[in-house]
Structure 1
């Protein structure tokens, strides 16, 4: 029996970066969490402890900070591409660089004052090799809720099914979405805003017979509105709301008083793609 080294990578995870952009008396803020992972000709360090091809992860951290000063940060996709290209072109042993960024939003309160906004986080991930570049944008934790215009009925029943059918329910979710760009160029700020607008519009305007139907509607609307997006993957937890039994108090509950459930929860996942989209590398959404 032969024992061999399988796929591997290493890097610096979650380098916290806050970049203040000065424009006269006005300040802008970029708040990033940057993770770098490199792979390539790294067998020697695993098999013999030879570190001659292992760029220190501390160097990766330092590169993030130095690049933030030298080049600025721009959109998270742009900064991730800048870093990934650097590692691939300057380290001959590195074949693939993956850079992922979480971007935390701040709302301006004045020329130099800010308030953290929203529970959601913008995300971006790029993969760069000598042959190709891939850009994935996304969002996590975007909470949406429809107080009606949702039902769930007609499902199969067996001896363990207790869930009643409903023609009027709360539909709520916390959107986790990743969308792959056709190319590594473009206006990423406009694309991100447009994708979020398309997703939320579809959620609002879809009469939902199931969360699966809503997922497909949201993904389809993004592809219809954003030609730069090749495909989108969505993970939608069903944030259940249960009708409270008020009968012990001689009170009727006409879909007005609910318990917001925590766990367990349904998790609906799916990918919506163009039939003419360029093929995606395996694991593009990771």
Structure 2
């Protein structure tokens, strides 16, 4: 039997980094989680343990901190591009860099006081290779949304194991994970993020849903319509079931007012929506 080394990468996962921009009496905070992954000339280290071509993961961590001091942390996509390009251009043995960043929001409570935002987490994944090609995928996760009406589910396959009753009025709730691929470099990632986020929310709120799949497509379609700088949206929507509680044992009716919010099991709806002329994604989703 013969074997060979397959695709591989190495890096430092989840470097927690907080940057405080002290611009006079009013400060700004960026709270991020940075993960770096590198690939290239790694055959020797795997086959013989020769580390000559390896950039230590501790060095990758230190680079994130040093770049925060040298360049600040503005838009996470721009910071990720800085890091990825640095790794590839500074070390010949590194052919490809992947940088993933999560950003945790803080709301201002004073010139130098902040309250942690309990909402969604902003994300990005950036790739850069030694041919000079870059890809940027922005996104968010844990954006929890709910419609109290305007959702149905009926007309599905019924077999001997089906117990779910059809409904023409239900609560529809989900925790949105969304990723969107930029066609090229975007002039303002901050504005693009806000436009895309709002498009997703508008579509969720404005779609009379006969299935969560229909809502998923409407959300992706709206984002692509509003934001010309992106070409593909991928969504994961867990169906956070709200079950009507039977109050008849207590002599009470329940006209879709009292629910049990079940956390598991849950339906999971996933899909992508893209422009017909979207360029090849290459390594963007890896």
TM-score by length of 1: 0.98
What secondary structure does 1:109 align onto?
Answer: strand
C-alpha distance in 2, partners of 1:78/1:119? 22
Which position in structure 1 is the counterpart of 2:144? 143
Distance 1:16 1:250 in 2: 54
Task: Give 2:45's aligned residue.
Answer: 45
Work out the CA distance in 1 between the residues paired with 2:263 and 2:64.
37
CA contact under 8 A between 2:150 and 2:169: conserved in structure 1? yes
The residue number in structure 1 matching 2:267 is 266
- 1:190-247 deviation digits (Å, cap 9, x = unpaired): 0001100000000000000000000000000000000000100000000000000011
SS in 1 for 2:110: coil
* Structure 1 residue 258: Cα displacement: 0.4
Residue correspondence of structure 1 range 1-286 to structure 2 within 5 A:
1-131=1-131, 132-281=133-282, 284-286=284-286
SS of equivalent to 2:269: strand
Say whether the 8 Å CA contact 1:178–1:285 is kept in structure 2: no
Question: Does the Cα contact within 8 Å between 1:177 and 1:232 map onto a contact in 2?
Answer: yes
d(CA) in 1 for partners of 2:114 and 2:229?
Answer: 32
* Alpha-carbon distance, 1:46 to partner: 0.3
What is the number of residues matched between the two proteins? 285
For the residues of structure 2 that align with 1:281 and 1:211, how far apart are their CA atoms? 29
Matched position secondary structure for 2:260: strand
Per the normalisation by structure 2, the TM-score is 0.98
Instruction: For residue 118 of structure 1, report the CA deviation from its aligned partner.
Output: 2.3
Kept after mapping to 2: 8 A contact 1:233/1:285: no
Q: CA RMSD in A?
A: 0.8
Q: 183-192 vs 147-156, which deviates more? A: 183-192
> Which deviates further from its counterpart, 164-173 or 130-139?
130-139
Distance 2:86 2:154 in 1: 53
Structure 1 counterpart SS, 2:63? helix
Name the CA distance, whole Å, in 2 between partners of 1:84 and 1:135: 11
1:140 shift after superposition: 0.4
Output one character per residue of 1:25-78: Cα deviation in whole Å (capped at 9) or x when no partner. Answer: 000000010000000110000000100000111111110011000111110000
List runs of 5+ in structure 1 lacking aligned partners.
none
Structure 2 regions of 5+ residues with no counterpart? none
Any idea what SS the aligned residue of 1:141 has? Answer: strand
> Is the 1:104–1:121 contact (alpha carbons within 8 Å) kept by the matching residues of 2?
yes
